[in-house]
A and B are shown apart, each in its own frame.
Chain A
Amino acid sequence: DTGVSQDPRHKITKRGQNVTFRCDPISEHNRLYWYRQTLGQGPEFLTYFQNEAQLEKSRLLSNRFSAERPKGSFSTLEIQRTEQGDSAMYLCASSLDKLGSPLHFGNGTRLTVT
Protein backbone atom coordinates (compact mmCIF):
# COMPACT_ATOMS: atom_id res chain seq x y z
CA ASP A 1 0.00 0.00 0.00
CA THR A 2 1.78 3.11 -1.24
CA GLY A 3 -1.09 5.45 -0.43
CA VAL A 4 -2.86 7.89 -2.74
CA SER A 5 -0.53 9.78 -5.05
CA GLN A 6 -1.24 12.93 -7.01
CA ASP A 7 0.70 14.52 -9.82
CA PRO A 8 1.86 17.22 -10.17
CA ARG A 9 2.30 18.64 -6.67
CA HIS A 10 2.27 22.18 -7.98
CA LYS A 11 1.06 23.72 -11.23
CA ILE A 12 1.34 27.32 -12.31
CA THR A 13 -0.55 28.23 -15.45
CA LYS A 14 -1.72 31.30 -17.30
CA ARG A 15 -5.38 32.19 -17.46
CA GLY A 16 -7.06 30.52 -20.40
CA GLN A 17 -4.79 27.48 -20.50
CA ASN A 18 -5.98 23.92 -19.92
CA VAL A 19 -4.56 21.82 -17.09
CA THR A 20 -4.84 18.14 -16.21
CA PHE A 21 -4.15 16.50 -12.87
CA ARG A 22 -3.70 12.81 -12.15
CA CYS A 23 -4.62 10.74 -9.10
CA ASP A 24 -3.57 7.17 -8.38
CA PRO A 25 -5.72 5.72 -5.57
CA ILE A 26 -4.93 2.85 -3.24
CA SER A 27 -5.21 -0.17 -5.50
CA GLU A 28 -8.02 -2.03 -3.75
CA HIS A 29 -10.19 1.06 -3.28
CA ASN A 30 -13.13 1.22 -5.66
CA ARG A 31 -14.24 4.74 -4.71
CA LEU A 32 -12.33 7.82 -5.80
CA TYR A 33 -13.16 11.44 -4.91
CA TRP A 34 -12.03 14.86 -6.04
CA TYR A 35 -12.27 17.83 -3.69
CA ARG A 36 -11.07 21.44 -3.96
CA GLN A 37 -9.84 23.49 -1.03
CA THR A 38 -9.30 27.23 -0.89
CA LEU A 39 -7.92 29.32 1.95
CA GLY A 40 -10.13 29.32 5.01
CA GLN A 41 -12.52 26.73 3.62
CA GLY A 42 -12.92 23.03 4.11
CA PRO A 43 -12.60 20.61 1.20
CA GLU A 44 -15.38 21.31 -1.32
CA PHE A 45 -16.78 18.26 -3.10
CA LEU A 46 -16.30 18.16 -6.88
CA THR A 47 -17.06 14.63 -8.06
CA TYR A 48 -16.70 10.94 -7.22
CA PHE A 49 -16.40 7.60 -8.94
CA GLN A 50 -17.29 4.07 -8.02
CA ASN A 51 -14.98 1.99 -10.17
CA GLU A 52 -15.16 3.66 -13.60
CA ALA A 53 -18.65 5.13 -13.13
CA GLN A 54 -18.93 8.81 -12.23
CA LEU A 55 -21.75 8.68 -9.67
CA GLU A 56 -22.03 12.26 -8.50
CA LYS A 57 -20.93 15.65 -9.69
CA SER A 58 -21.25 18.86 -7.72
CA ARG A 59 -23.68 21.42 -9.12
CA LEU A 60 -21.00 23.97 -8.32
CA LEU A 61 -18.74 22.38 -10.92
CA SER A 62 -18.76 24.35 -14.14
CA ASN A 63 -18.67 22.68 -17.56
CA ARG A 64 -14.99 23.64 -17.80
CA PHE A 65 -14.24 20.82 -15.37
CA SER A 66 -14.23 17.17 -16.41
CA ALA A 67 -13.03 14.03 -14.68
CA GLU A 68 -12.45 10.51 -15.87
CA ARG A 69 -11.53 7.18 -14.39
CA PRO A 70 -11.22 5.10 -17.54
CA LYS A 71 -10.39 1.67 -16.16
CA GLY A 72 -11.50 2.12 -12.60
CA SER A 73 -7.94 2.73 -11.47
CA PHE A 74 -6.28 6.16 -11.82
CA SER A 75 -8.31 9.30 -12.45
CA THR A 76 -7.69 12.58 -14.23
CA LEU A 77 -9.25 15.97 -13.57
CA GLU A 78 -9.10 18.48 -16.41
CA ILE A 79 -9.84 22.18 -16.18
CA GLN A 80 -10.30 23.94 -19.49
CA ARG A 81 -9.82 27.69 -20.03
CA THR A 82 -8.56 28.21 -16.48
CA GLU A 83 -9.63 31.29 -14.54
CA GLN A 84 -7.95 32.95 -11.57
CA GLY A 85 -10.80 31.69 -9.37
CA ASP A 86 -9.69 28.13 -10.12
CA SER A 87 -6.56 28.67 -8.02
CA ALA A 88 -6.86 26.18 -5.18
CA MET A 89 -5.58 22.91 -3.74
CA TYR A 90 -7.13 19.97 -5.59
CA LEU A 91 -7.37 16.91 -3.36
CA CYS A 92 -7.96 13.33 -4.41
CA ALA A 93 -9.10 10.65 -1.99
CA SER A 94 -10.03 7.01 -2.23
CA SER A 95 -11.93 4.56 -0.06
CA LEU A 96 -13.56 1.17 0.04
CA ASP A 97 -17.27 1.06 -0.72
CA LYS A 98 -18.18 0.03 2.80
CA LEU A 99 -19.96 1.77 5.71
CA GLY A 100 -17.38 3.09 8.11
CA SER A 101 -14.54 3.25 5.58
CA PRO A 102 -12.49 6.44 5.91
CA LEU A 103 -11.16 8.48 3.02
CA HIS A 104 -7.44 8.26 2.29
CA PHE A 105 -6.18 11.51 0.83
CA GLY A 106 -3.30 12.31 -1.47
CA ASN A 107 -1.02 15.30 -0.88
CA GLY A 108 -2.97 17.39 -3.35
CA THR A 109 -2.11 19.47 -6.41
CA ARG A 110 -1.68 23.19 -5.76
CA LEU A 111 -2.92 25.14 -8.81
CA THR A 112 -2.03 28.78 -9.31
CA VAL A 113 -3.62 30.60 -12.24
CA THR A 114 -1.87 33.87 -13.13
Chain B
Amino acid sequence: ILNVEQSPQSLHVQEGDSTNFTCSFPSSNFYALHWYRWETAKSPEALFVMTLNGDEKKKGRISATLNTKEGYSYLYIKGSQPEDSATYLCARGEAGTALIFGKGTTLSVSS
Protein backbone atom coordinates (compact mmCIF):
# COMPACT_ATOMS: atom_id res chain seq x y z
CA ILE B 1 0.00 0.00 0.00
CA LEU B 2 1.37 3.37 -1.05
CA ASN B 3 1.40 6.12 1.54
CA VAL B 4 0.84 9.71 0.49
CA GLU B 5 1.50 12.03 3.41
CA GLN B 6 0.41 15.65 3.62
CA SER B 7 1.46 18.29 6.10
CA PRO B 8 0.33 20.21 7.94
CA GLN B 9 -3.03 18.59 8.63
CA SER B 10 -4.61 22.03 9.06
CA LEU B 11 -3.55 25.62 8.86
CA HIS B 12 -5.11 28.93 9.85
CA VAL B 13 -3.73 32.14 8.29
CA GLN B 14 -4.72 35.76 7.97
CA GLU B 15 -5.82 37.31 4.70
CA GLY B 16 -2.76 38.37 2.74
CA ASP B 17 -0.43 35.75 4.25
CA SER B 18 1.44 33.42 1.93
CA THR B 19 1.50 29.76 2.80
CA ASN B 20 2.70 26.41 1.56
CA PHE B 21 1.85 22.74 2.05
CA THR B 22 3.85 19.57 1.54
CA CYS B 23 2.94 16.29 -0.10
CA SER B 24 5.34 13.35 0.37
CA PHE B 25 5.06 10.11 -1.57
CA PRO B 26 7.05 7.00 -2.52
CA SER B 27 9.37 7.91 -5.38
CA SER B 28 9.50 4.46 -7.00
CA ASN B 29 7.26 3.73 -10.02
CA PHE B 30 6.10 7.35 -10.05
CA TYR B 31 3.72 8.32 -12.86
CA ALA B 32 1.84 11.49 -11.90
CA LEU B 33 1.11 13.82 -8.99
CA HIS B 34 -2.23 15.62 -8.74
CA TRP B 35 -3.39 18.50 -6.55
CA TYR B 36 -7.10 19.12 -5.88
CA ARG B 37 -9.01 21.77 -3.96
CA TRP B 38 -12.10 20.63 -2.07
CA GLU B 39 -14.41 23.33 -0.81
CA THR B 40 -17.18 22.54 1.65
CA ALA B 41 -20.39 21.32 -0.02
CA LYS B 42 -18.68 21.09 -3.41
CA SER B 43 -16.80 18.37 -5.29
CA PRO B 44 -12.99 18.22 -5.45
CA GLU B 45 -11.63 20.38 -8.27
CA ALA B 46 -8.35 19.71 -10.05
CA LEU B 47 -5.64 22.33 -9.61
CA PHE B 48 -2.57 20.73 -11.19
CA VAL B 49 -1.34 17.50 -12.70
CA MET B 50 2.43 17.10 -12.81
CA THR B 51 4.39 14.25 -14.33
CA LEU B 52 8.03 15.32 -14.76
CA ASN B 53 10.71 15.86 -12.14
CA GLY B 54 11.21 19.59 -11.72
CA ASP B 55 7.75 20.46 -13.05
CA GLU B 56 6.41 23.78 -11.85
CA LYS B 57 2.81 24.82 -12.47
CA LYS B 58 1.01 28.07 -11.71
CA LYS B 59 -2.63 29.16 -11.70
CA GLY B 60 -3.14 32.72 -10.49
CA ARG B 61 -1.82 32.98 -6.93
CA ILE B 62 -1.38 29.22 -6.56
CA SER B 63 1.69 27.33 -7.72
CA ALA B 64 3.16 23.87 -7.26
CA THR B 65 6.53 22.17 -7.66
CA LEU B 66 7.47 18.52 -8.03
CA ASN B 67 10.54 16.50 -7.03
CA THR B 68 10.04 12.90 -8.10
CA LYS B 69 13.52 11.73 -7.09
CA GLU B 70 13.04 12.58 -3.43
CA GLY B 71 9.26 12.13 -3.50
CA TYR B 72 7.72 15.46 -2.58
CA SER B 73 5.61 18.27 -3.97
CA TYR B 74 4.93 21.72 -2.57
CA LEU B 75 1.79 23.80 -3.08
CA TYR B 76 2.17 27.54 -2.55
CA ILE B 77 -0.55 30.14 -2.12
CA LYS B 78 0.54 33.76 -2.37
CA GLY B 79 -1.52 36.42 -0.61
CA SER B 80 -4.20 34.09 0.78
CA GLN B 81 -7.82 35.19 0.45
CA PRO B 82 -10.88 33.93 2.37
CA GLU B 83 -12.08 32.16 -0.78
CA ASP B 84 -8.92 30.03 -0.67
CA SER B 85 -10.33 28.30 2.43
CA ALA B 86 -10.65 24.64 1.49
CA THR B 87 -9.05 21.24 1.91
CA TYR B 88 -6.14 20.71 -0.47
CA LEU B 89 -5.58 17.11 -1.53
CA CYS B 90 -2.63 15.60 -3.28
CA ALA B 91 -2.72 12.24 -5.02
CA ARG B 92 -0.03 10.04 -6.53
CA GLY B 93 -0.43 7.65 -9.43
CA GLU B 94 1.49 4.78 -10.99
CA ALA B 95 0.95 3.75 -14.60
CA GLY B 96 -2.22 1.73 -14.99
CA THR B 97 -3.43 2.19 -11.44
CA ALA B 98 -5.80 4.55 -9.70
CA LEU B 99 -4.67 7.61 -7.78
CA ILE B 100 -3.93 7.27 -4.09
CA PHE B 101 -4.87 10.36 -2.08
CA GLY B 102 -3.37 11.88 1.04
CA LYS B 103 -5.55 13.00 3.94
CA GLY B 104 -5.40 16.62 2.83
CA THR B 105 -4.43 19.95 4.36
CA THR B 106 -7.34 22.08 5.53
CA LEU B 107 -6.69 25.79 5.08
CA SER B 108 -8.72 28.46 6.82
CA VAL B 109 -8.15 32.11 5.84
CA SER B 110 -9.51 34.85 8.09
CA SER B 111 -10.33 38.29 6.80
Listed in ascending order, the chain A residues whose CB lies under 8 Å from chain B are: 4, 33, 35, 40-45, 48, 55-56, 91, 93, 99-108
Contacts and interface: CB of A to CB of B under 8 A. Distances in A.
Which applies to chain A's interface (DSSP): helix, strand, loop or mixed? Answer: loop
Which applies to chain B's interface (DSSP): helix, strand, loop or mixed? Answer: loop
Contacts of B103: 40-42
Given A48-B98, A56-B98, A42 B42 contact: no
B97 interface: yes
Contacts, number: 56
Interface stretch (B13-21, B44-52, B75-83): B44-52
How many interface residues does chain B have, given as a range? 20 to 34
Which interface residue of B43, B51, B91 has the most chain A CB atoms within 10 A? Answer: B43
Given A99-B31, A100-B32, A45 B46 contact: no
A101 B104 CA distance: 20
